Amino acid sequence: MSTTTTSGRTQATCRAAFITTLLIFLTLAAALVAVQLAGLVLVRPAWITWASEALLTPSIAAAVLFGLVAFASGYFMPKATSEE
């Protein structure tokens, strides 16, 4: 197996992991904000509390995972070459 094929697979895997973890984080964070905003508009303080208790920790964990994947992907993605 050539290095180019392995490198291409690694880059594709990194890109897929990056996009997947980004979407998971954004979905959780958007759900957190949406439920809290709905609780604020509809004057339902229990919704605000529930969203914070149920979605805050998973949102933070997803953000940390996304950051780690992004950091690791930086080592596998090709470097941009500047043409002078």
Residue 82 belongs to some domain of the structure: no
Q: Is residue 80 part of a domain?
A: no
- Are the C-beta atoms of residues 46 and 39 closer than 8 Å to each other? yes
Q: Is residue 46 part of a domain?
A: yes
Question: Can you give the chain as a three-state secondary structure string?
Answer: CCHHHHHHHHHHHHHHHHHHHHHHHHHHHHHHHHHHHHHHHCCCHHHHHHHHHHHHHHHHHHHHHHHHHHHHHHHHCCCCCCCC
In a domain, 66, yes or no: yes
Evaluate whether residue 2 is within a structural domain.
no
Q: Has residue 77 been placed in a domain?
A: no
Which residue segment(s) compose the domain that 23 sits in? 8-70
8-33 per-position pLDDT tens digit: 888 889 999 999 999 999 999 999 99
Residue 18 in any domain: the answer is yes
What digits encode the pLDDT tens for the residues 31-42? 999 999 999 999
Specify the pTM. 0.81
Tokens describing residue 45: 């303080």
Overall domain count for the chain = 1
